[in-house]
Amino acid sequence: MRILVAEDDAILADGLLGALRQSRYTVDWAQTGAEADDKLRAHSYELVILDLGLPRKDGFEVLRALRGLGSRVPVLVLTARDSLEDRVTGLDAGADDYLVKPFELEELEARLRALIRRSQGNISNVVEIGSIRYDMDGKRVCVGGEPVELSARELAVFEMLALRVGRVVTKEQMINHLYDRGDEVNLGAIEVYVHRVRKKLEAAKISIRTVRGLGYLLEKPRGS
């Protein structure tokens, strides 16, 4: 899950990036509104954390420009502005949620998980596919009630496929999801991670199908 954090306070941003990476998100940082705007135009994100008080282009402008492009990426607004007028303006501009500073990281992450679930069409924080049960909050995968140990990147691959069950996930999407900007990317590694996930989830009798030239598709077991 790749997230853009647009926050001009370097200390706060450093704390956010560290906490989100520890929770196995892939995170980019923009320190100005102009930089956030450039990143949003150049790259695909699955969630945006947006401060309103950004220099060189405030958060409202960034948000309006993003929605003007037709993007439906979930946006969580962070701000020290707690007036009703500002909250209404942010929501009307296209924000999906609003969190006033100071805030607790636990609440921030809970709101992110809720936004991610809604954006993927899931109401519950638990995804069930046949005998597989995936707890998105605890990042735990079980098959038939038995826990399955997945590495961080194996889990990221599984999550992408599980949240898009029945839809093709391209290698490009996986790379965007797994690697930080500037990381050395090995396309062969994606195939290795998918192979390992297949092996570890064999007991669930799911199919992770390779769609030649496109990517991978997770199919539910027949009859489920």
CATH number at residue 200: 1.10.10.10
Q: Does one domain contain both 115 and 192? A: no
Q: For residue 221, is pLDDT > 90?
A: no
Domain end call among 61, 86, 119 = 119
**41 and 26: one domain?**
yes
| Total-model pTM | 0.63
* CATH number of the domain where residue 56 is located: 3.40.50.2300
How large is the average pLDDT for residues 145-160?
91
- Ordered alpha helix ranges (H), the chain: 10-22, 33-42, 59-68, 84-92, 105-119, 152-163, 171-178, 187-200
Residue 17 above 90 pLDDT? yes
89 Cβ neighbours under 8 A, 6+ residues apart:
60
Q: Is 51 helix (H, G, I), strand (E, B) or coil?
A: strand
Domain boundary among 119, 135, 161: 119
Residues in the chain: 224
- Do 90 and 110 sit in the same domain of this protein? yes
Choosing from 119, 153, 169, the residue where a domain stops is: 119
Same domain, 156 and 192: yes
Could you tell me the residue range of the domain that residue 42 belongs to? Answer: 2-119
- Cα torsion 33, 73, 83, 32 to 10°: value is -10
